[in-house]
Structures are given as structure tokens and as C-alpha cells.
Amino acid sequence: MKKYILQRLGIAVVTIFAVITLTFFLMHMIPGTPFTRENTNMDADVLAALKSNYGLDKPLWEQYIIYIANILRGNFGTSITYSNRSVADIIKTAFPVSADLGLRALFIGVSLGIALGIGAALHHNKGWDRFSSVIAVIGISVPSFIIGTLLQAAFGLWLSSWVKNVFHTSFQLFPISRWESFRYTILPSLALGIGSVAIITRLMRSSMLDVIGQDYIKTAKSKGISNAAILWKHEARNALIPVVTVVGRMVGSICTGSFVIESLFAVPGLGKYYVNSVTARDYTLTMGLTIFYSMFVVASTLAVDILYCVIDPRVRYTEVGK
């Protein structure tokens, strides 16, 4: 096990190095510089001064080596567009918000998805199954910004105007923008989570149906244990194994910020910085966020693989030749 984890960590380092290298050169292949849109007829001397200030006047390979050396020292540099903020500082303030939103959305996705999936499997081809299919199709095919906008219309427009007419206050139960208290988190989490609800529902349903047909469920029944015990101890537990893989992959993408949902609900998360940094060719910020993102994904994948050993005893990583 220890050897396996070390091996995986080694692979992770190589992966991240490859990501850094690729992103670095791809970034610089995009035409223009960070200063392109500031002023089209910028003075050549000023441009040269700016470039040399950020070290962009050196040959590309030299910039690459300097960048790698800085990263190894833990220095991700300063953002070019947000000139007084370091990349690390931006991640430190914005990531917790994104992660918070992501975890809430994930919680909704996992709990609702598993419940709907189990319900659908137990009532296979009946009303409940059809209902959860509809939810799943909506969740998969309707983009999150439409769901987000609809939620905003429902709670920010229709509900609040009704409240205004009836109670004569402008109180909003679930505010549609900013990120302040629990009430503010409901709508963005819902909008972000509905996609994962759909995916997990479908997966849990098919996985449960598969397990229910297994011989060992017959064995469990032949022991006389109650239906509830069969459901939790034998069916749901085994059906969860494939779901864990998918949830693990979701953690990486959902917690590192969603540009659409964050800008729609004015949530001060990472998503905005990521998209803006690319359009503004803010090399250091893009690089820093990409490295952070890939490290996060690699770590969550590794965590899932380790979790797998715990929940599925058939998966034990034994060293070859032993």
C-alpha cells in the first residue's frame, strides 16, 4: 500500500510537470501579450520597459527555466493584470469560496442523487423511476446557467414581488447574488449541483439494478434478514462503489470554481480569475491556476483510489511479484 501511494505520487509529479510545460508553451503561442489591449499604439519604449519588467523580453526557453526555478522555490509570481497581488494570494482568498460553493453543490448532488437513484431502482419502471428520469434528463441537458437564471427569476422576481404585495417588505428568502450567509448559498449551490444530481441519479440507479439482480442478494434473503438490512448492508453499499469514482472526479472540477455560476450569482470565487486571466493573457495567473487545478485533480483522484481500497476489498494493490 505504502509503495503504491509513493508510486502514484511519483506519477503525479510527472503529470503536473507535463501540465506546466504544455500550458507554458501553449500560453505563449497565443498571439499578443498581456499588454496588447491596454493601448493599441503604445509607445515602443514603454512596451519594452513593461516586458523587461516582467521578464518577457528574454528568449522563451530562458523564461521557462526561470519559471520552473521559481515554482520549485514555491514562488508563483505576481499577477500581471492585478498588478499588486500575488498569484498565491488570489488563490488563498478566492479558492475557499469556490471550494465552499463546490462542496455544497456536491453535497446536494451526492445526497439527492443517491436517494433518487435508490428510489428509482426500487420502483423500477414505476412512477418514482419515471420522475427521477425526468429530473436526470433535465439536469444533464439543461445548462447550469439556464437553471441558475430560472432560479433567480423564481426567487428574485416572482417570489419577491409576491412577498412585496402580500407582506409589504422587500425581504428575500434566498438572495440571488453575493456570498454572505447561509441563505445566500442556497441558489448558487442548487444551480451548480443539479448537473451532478442528474449524473449520480442515473449511475446509482443502474448500479443498484445491477446489484439487486446478483446472487448474493438471494443469499441474503435466504438468511431471513429484513428488507431494510438487505437494502443498506448488501445492496446500497455495493452499488456505491462505481459512484465513488465519479464523485471523486467531480470534486476536482466542481470545487475549483465555475465561471458561469460564480459570475451569475456574483460569488467571489476562482472561476472569474481563471477566465479573465486567459483572455488578458495574464501568463503568471493562468499558469498558477492551472498548476493549482491540476494538483487538486491529481490529489482527488489519488484520494478516490485510496478510498476504493477501503470500500471494495477486491481492489487491493499488491506489489507485482510478491
Partner 1 sequence: MIAIIEIKDLRVSFHAYFGEVQAVRGVNLKLGDGDTLAIVGESGCGKSVTALSIMRIHNMDATEFKSGEILFDGTDLLKISEKEMQNIRGNRIGMIFQDPMTALNPSMTVGNQIAEVLLRHGRSAGGKRLSPKDARERATELLRRVKIPSPERRASQFPHEFSGGMLQRAVIAMAMACSPEVLIADEPTTALDVTVQAQILDLLKEMQREKRASLIIITHDLGVVANIAKSAAVMYGGLVVEAGTIGDIFYRSSHPYTRGLLDSISRESGRKNEPLKSIEGTPPDLVNPPAGCPFTDRCEYAMRVCKDRLPPESALSETHLCRCWMLDPECPLKIERGKL
What are the residues whose beta carbons fall under 8 Å from the beta carbon of 260, sequence distance 6 or more?
A: 143, 144, 145, 148, 271
Q: Which of residues 183-212 bind partner 1 (CB under 8 A)?
A: none
User: From CA 251, how far away is CA 178, in angstroms rounded?
Assistant: 23
Q: Is 215 in the site for partner 1 (CB under 8 A)?
A: yes
Q: Which stretch binds partner 1 (CB under 8 A): 230-238, 264-272, 280-288, 299-307?
A: 230-238
Supply the minimum distance, in Å, between the C-beta of residue 227 and partner 1: 8
Residue count, binding to partner 1 (CB under 8 A):
21
The residue within the footprint of partner 1, chosen from 13, 150, 303, 311 (CB under 8 A), is 311
The residue within the footprint of partner 1, chosen from 216, 232, 279, 303 (CB under 8 A), is 216
What are the residues whose beta carbons fall under 8 Å from the beta carbon of 318, sequence distance 6 or more?
A: none
User: From CA 280, how far away is CA 34, in angstroms rounded?
Assistant: 6
Supply the minimum distance, in Å, between the C-beta of residue 125 and partner 1: 9
DSSP 248-294: HHHHHHHHT--HHHHHHTT--SHHHHHHHHHHTT-HHHHHHHHHHHH
Supply the minimum distance, in Å, between the C-beta of residue 217 and partner 1: 8
* Helix then strand then coil, % of the chain, to nearest 5: 75, 0, 25
User: From CA 257, how far away is CA 144, in angstroms rounded?
Assistant: 13
User: From CA 225, how far away is CA 59, in angstroms rounded?
Assistant: 72
Region of residue 77 (left: phi > 0; alpha: psi -120 to 50; beta: else):
left
Give 159 or 241: the residue with its C-beta nearer to partner 1. Answer: 241
Q: Is 224 in the site for partner 1 (CB under 8 A)?
A: yes
User: From CA 171, how far away is CA 185, in angstroms rounded?
Assistant: 16
User: From CA 25, how far away is CA 63, in angstroms rounded?
Assistant: 10
Under a CB-based contact definition with an 8 Å cutoff, are residues 195 and 110 in contact?
A: no
Q: Which stretch binds partner 1 (CB under 8 A): 14-22, 187-195, 197-205, 219-227?
A: 219-227
Supply the minimum distance, in Å, between the C-beta of residue 56 and partner 1: 56
Q: Is 312 in the site for partner 1 (CB under 8 A)?
A: yes
Q: Which 3 state secondary structure label does DSSP give 127?
A: helix
Supply the minimum distance, in Å, between the C-beta of residue 213 and partner 1: 9
The residue within the footprint of partner 1, chosen from 13, 218, 232, 303 (CB under 8 A), is 218
Contact flags string 232-271 toward partner 1, x per CB under 8 A: -xx--xx--x------------------------------
Q: Is 290 in the site for partner 1 (CB under 8 A)?
A: no
Q: Which stretch binds partner 1 (CB under 8 A): 4-12, 135-143, 199-207, 311-319?
A: 311-319
Give 59 or 127: the residue with its C-beta nearer to partner 1. Answer: 127
Give 31 or 313: the residue with its C-beta nearer to partner 1. Answer: 313
Give contact residues for partner 1 (rule: CB under 8 A): 214-216, 218-226, 233-234, 237-238, 241, 311-314
